[in-house]
């Protein structure tokens, strides 16, 4: 990929995310051909275009139902949905909740810069209360969405936060998330150098601290995940060792047979009664 083909601003957090994801995927014990990325719309959603894997870059907010369809159809594929905070938490908020609930082995990566980049600087679901943006000259009137606490409450068995300014940490967290068997959610804090003048690399560096271990108690994980402000924890909040992942059915290149259809025709009425 030529540097000039990339649509991100110089200094964008998407660059280190891309480089780390590329390294993690390359080192994954999975063949390159068996990895599939989905994304929605936004600057972060262009990520698959800059990585050497099959992808389905769909519509705004819809990367997750695409991922669900792919994973159900082809359990043999490793499926990663990567998009921004507006895409996963705003337009696709309902899919975020329900994809977690489906218990499929899908990795949800959220490049969270707390602002809309591609549409040039409007508030996103994770924008802090009171922050001034293109459509909020008086300051954002909405409570900031707490994605990881919501993910935990929805039943996500793997929930983590990392920081685009800390590639080494990001690498560990992304690898663990992808290798985890079940729906994993990683919120990647990422400065937007063009439209978010508050949550900068320096702002994060002053506040971020690493948690060394996942929490033993899910409610403690929720409490910590909800925390925001002077001290912002990164790392794996929760990893459910007992989680039972839903196994897909092998269907690809297996076909319904004529004798099976003949059998089905003799089934009694399947109408609702």
Partner 1 sequence: MEFNVLIGGEAGQGMFSVELELTEILSRLGYHFFATKNYMSRIRGGHNYHMIRVAERPVHALSGKPWDMVVAMDSAETERRHRPALREGGAFIGADRIGQLEAEATKTFQDVTVTSTLLTGLILSFIGADPAAAQAVAPDEPARTALAKGREFAARWGLEGPRSLSPKAGDHCKLDGNQALALGALLGGCQFVAGYPMTPATSILHYFSAVAPEVPVHFEQAEDEIAALNMALGASFAGLRSMAATSGGGFALMTEAVSLAGMTETPVVVIDAQRPGPATGLPTRTEQGDLDFVLHAGHGEFPRVIFAPGSVEEAISLARRAFDVADRWQIPVFVLTDQYLADSVQVMEGRVPTKILRRETPVFGAGYRRYEITDSGVSPLTYPGLSEARVEIDSDEHTEDGKITEDIGLRARMVDKRLRKFEGLRQEAVMPTRFGDRRATTVLVSWGSNRLIVNEAVEALRAEGIAVSSIHFGQVYPLTPPMARGLARKRLICIENNATGQFERLLRRELGLKAAHRILQYNGECFTVAGLVERVRKILG
Interface contacts to partner 1, rule CB under 8 A: 7, 32-34, 36, 38, 41, 46, 48-49, 52-59, 62, 64-70, 72-74, 76-77, 94-95, 97-98, 248-258, 260-261, 263-265, 267-273
Please, what is the minimum distance in Å from the beta carbon of residue 233 to partner 1?
30
Smaller CB distance to partner 1: residue 57 or 215?
A: 57
**Beta strands per DSSP E along 41-133:** 54-57, 78-84, 106-112
Smaller CB distance to partner 1: residue 5 or 230?
A: 5
Give me 41's structure tokens.
Answer: 């719309």
φ, ψ of residue 138 in degrees (nearest 5): -90, 0
Sequence-ordered list of residues with C-beta below 8 angstroms from that of 106, at least 6 positions apart, any chain: 64, 67, 68, 71, 79, 80, 81, 99, 183, 184
Please, what is the minimum distance in Å from the beta carbon of residue 258 to partner 1?
6
The CA radius of gyration of the chain, in Å to the nearest whole number, is 20
Please, what is the minimum distance in Å from the beta carbon of residue 42 to partner 1?
12
Indicate the DSSP class of residue 44: G
Please, what is the minimum distance in Å from the beta carbon of residue 270 to partner 1?
5
Question: How far is C-alpha 32 from the geometric centre of its chain's CA atoms?
Answer: 20
Please, what is the minimum distance in Å from the beta carbon of residue 14 to partner 1?
15
Smaller CB distance to partner 1: residue 72 or 232?
A: 72
Smaller CB distance to partner 1: residue 60 or 169?
A: 60
Give me 89's structure tokens.
Answer: 């938490």
Smaller CB distance to partner 1: residue 155 or 167?
A: 155
């Amino acid at each position: 990929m030529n540097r000039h083909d990339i649509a991100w601003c110089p200094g964008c957090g998407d660059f280190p995310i891309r480089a780390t994801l590329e390294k993690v995927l390359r080192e994954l014990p999975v063949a390159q051909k068996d990895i599939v990325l989905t994304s929605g719309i936004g600057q972060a959603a262009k990520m698959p275009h800059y990585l050497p894997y099959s992808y389905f870059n769909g519509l705004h907010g819809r990367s997750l139902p695409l991922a669900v369809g792919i994973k159900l159809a082809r359990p043999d594929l490793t499926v990663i949905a990567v998009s921004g905070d507006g895409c996963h938490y705003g337009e696709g908020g309902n899919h975020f909740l329900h994809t977690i609930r489906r218990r499929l082995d899908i990795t949800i990566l959220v490049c969270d810069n707390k602002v809309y980049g591609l549409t040039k600087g409007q508030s996103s679901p994770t924008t802090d209360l009171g922050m001034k943006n293109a459509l909020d000259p008086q300051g954002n009137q909405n409570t900031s969405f707490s994605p990881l606490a919501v993910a935990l409450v929805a039943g996500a068995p793997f929930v983590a936060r990392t920081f685009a300014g800390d590639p080494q940490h990001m690498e560990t967290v992304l690898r663990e998330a992808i290798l985890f068997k079940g729906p994993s959610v990683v919120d990647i804090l990422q400065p937007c150098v063009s439209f978010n003048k508050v949550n900068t690399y320096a702002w994060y560096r002053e506040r971020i601290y690493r948690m060394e271990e996942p929490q033993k108690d899910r409610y403690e994980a929720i409490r910590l995940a909800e925390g925001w402000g002077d001290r912002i924890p990164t790392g794996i909040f929760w990893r459910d060792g007992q989680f039972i992942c839903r196994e897909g059915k092998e269907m690809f290149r297996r076909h319904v047979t004529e004798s099976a259809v003949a059998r089905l025709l003799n089934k009694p009425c399947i109408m609702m009664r």
